[in-house]
Amino acid sequence: MKKIKLILSLFAIVFLPFFAIAQDEIFMASGVGGNIPLKSVHYTEMNGSPFLNELWMGGVVKLANGKFYKDVNLKYDQILDEVYFLGEKDQAMLFNIPVLEFKIQMVNVNGSFEECYFVNGYSPIDGATEKSYYQKLMYTGNPKTQLVKRTVKKIYESRVYNSAVTSKTVEATVFYYLSDEKKKLRKVKLDAKSIIAGLGDKQTDLVKYIEANKLNLKKEEDAIKLVSYYNSI
């Protein structure tokens, strides 16, 4: 238990710089007030997970009233696009005040941890609203043009022929966008042609950078490098 608490504390230390806040504006998770007990969303047995993580993970949240809370155990439901926190009685709770931003760890398939930073308030697109959360893939230095992604999960049911048993599977669809300073989105694909077209200008420089650095724009990390370079020229 002590080890788990230490890990969660370390997570919080890592998260705080991403929110650029003063120390007197940070509140502990125990002070989260006005919360709403979650009327259980029962996900029956299925292939795949509705959540970013099945386990509660330590994080930081920013609410619409401007307050930040650290050391919060969070879970992100990617089907309902809702973020929950673990209450004092180990009960899943909804925030009474809307969450504008949250930072959470994701456990990858290889067991490694990835820091994920989610924000809403973007221009509506592809069925999403201003309340929909997007993962910022570039969150240091406050770049003018950012690469963000939205993961939409849905449950699909299927039945084997002549069987009464219904199988449920969670399938995820990932969308990528370029965002400007006003959070207006331009949809792109992870390929050189789409991203260069989405950025709009400096195309000759971008092509040279891709070739010189042997970037594969089908990879997130290389797409991030290209957009970062674009912001630097």
pTM, whole model, 2 decimals? 0.83
Q: Let me know whether 67 and 36 are in one domain.
A: yes
Do the beta carbons of residue 104 and residue 85 sit within 8 Å? Answer: no
Domain that holds residue 66: 2-188
Q: Let me know whether 107 and 134 are in one domain.
A: yes
Has residue 42 got a pLDDT over 90?
no
Q: Let me know whether 130 and 198 are in one domain.
A: no
Q: Let me know whether 199 and 179 are in one domain.
A: no
Mean local confidence (pLDDT), 151-165: 85
Q: What is the pLDDT of residue 90?
A: 84
Q: Let me know whether 127 and 195 are in one domain.
A: no
C-alpha span between 205 and 169 (Å, rounded): 44
DSSP state of 165: P
Q: What is the pLDDT of residue 186?
A: 97
Has residue 75 got a pLDDT over 90?
yes
Q: Let me know whether 180 and 76 are in one domain.
A: yes
Mean pLDDT, the chain, as a whole number? 84
| DSSP three-state, residue 175 | strand
Q: Let me know whether 172 and 84 are in one domain.
A: yes
Q: Let me know whether 110 and 73 are in one domain.
A: yes
Q: Let me know whether 118 and 209 are in one domain.
A: no
Distances (CA, A) of 14 to 18, 70, 115, 182, 183: 8, 11, 9, 27, 25
Q: Let me know whether 102 and 154 are in one domain.
A: yes
Q: Let me know whether 93 and 65 are in one domain.
A: yes
Strand ranges inside the chain, DSSP E: 26-28, 36-37, 57-63, 68-77, 82-86, 92-94, 99-107, 113-119, 134-136, 146-159, 166-179, 185-188
Q: What is the pLDDT of residue 11?
A: 45
Q: What is the pLDDT of residue 32?
A: 63
Q: Let me know whether 50 and 158 are in one domain.
A: yes
Dmax (CA) for the chain in angstroms is: 63
Total domains in the chain come to 2
How confident is the model over 84-129, as pLDDT tens digits? 998 878 888 889 899 999 999 887 777 788 889 999 999 999 999 9
**For a pLDDT cut of 70, what percent of the chain falls above it?**
82
**For a pLDDT cut of 90, what percent of the chain falls above it?**
60
How confident is the model over 168-221, as pLDDT tens digits? 999 999 999 999 999 999 999 999 999 999 999 999 999 999 999 999 999 999
